[in-house]
Amino acid sequence: MSIHIEAKKGEIAETVLMPGDPLRAKWIAETFLENPVCYNRIRGMFGYTGTYKGKRVSVQGSGMGMPSAMIYFHELINDYGVKNIIRVGSAGSYQEHVKLNDVVLAMSASTTSGMNNSRFINSDYSPTANFELFQKAVNYAQANNIPIKAGNILSSDEFYGDNPEEYKLWAEYGVLCVEMETAGLYTIAAKYNVRALTILTISDSLVTDESLSAHDRQTTFHDMVEIALAAAIS
């Protein structure tokens, strides 16, 4: 048992899917896993372990933003021996060709966070996805005719920024979309030599001002989760 996760040793699989929303974790477990068992309810941050096609997989909510998510990443890796973390979440598009419900694989994560400043003084660290997980996700998507986008994304510390035009600079340099956790995940995974990948579904567009409903954000991300589970068990 750790400070924020009440699971006993062995109750969490070596591979964990991690949405920010704990209700999305519940939905994933109940929709995709066989015999899911809830191992965590502390702070309402649900965690489940079940099987998918005969392989043990866990699903754990992380909360929104890097400060919250990093707590769970750290404890899962250091207290429970997790080896693979696949973030599954929503994102806001920065590009006209990246549309609602598109699936995006994060090859790398730029960030507005100062999280790494204390680690790399006067330098920029560029956290990236694990190649093996990335390759497995791409292979599954292609084999199952699921269109994907892949590239650099932005992990932001702010959900509501002051300047609605700020995204255009990132877009000009090819950043596909924005979310709030991946730069932290890729950094801590590199530090502890575990594998990490982020798979996102576009829920909003800063280009067109379109957005999915709160209900759709929780329950309509089947393609993203299928790709994540395929990468998790292969």
Residue 43 within any structural domain of the chain: yes
Mean pLDDT score across all residues of the chain: 94
For residue range 142-178, list pLDDT tens digits in order: 999 999 999 999 999 988 888 888 999 999 999 999 9
Annotated active-site positions, please?
Answer: 204
Residue 157 lies inside a defined structural domain of this protein: yes
Residue 8 lies in a domain: no
Is residue 79 scored above 70 in pLDDT? yes
Q: What is the pLDDT of residue 218?
A: 57
How far is it, in rounded angstroms, from Cα 134 to Cα 42? 31
> Helix, strand, or coil here: 150?
strand
The span from the CA of 41 to the CA of 34, in Å, is 19
Q: Is residue 192 part of a domain?
A: yes
Under the banding of pLDDT at 50, 70 and 90, the label for residue 213 is: confident
HSE-CB for 194 with a 13 A CA cutoff: 23
pLDDT for 189-206, tens place per residue?
999 999 999 999 999 999
Q: How many domains does the chain have?
A: 1
H, E, C per residue of 202-234: EEEECCCCCECCHHHHHHCCHHHHHHHHHHHHC
CATH of the domain at 174: 3.40.50.1580
Q: The tokens 């250091």 sit on which residue?
A: 78
Quote the domain boundaries for residue 51.
15-233
Residues 6+ apart with CB under 8 A from 69: 18, 20, 62, 63, 180, 181, 184, 185
d(CA 81, CA 26): 22
Task: Decide if 5 is inside a domain.
Answer: no
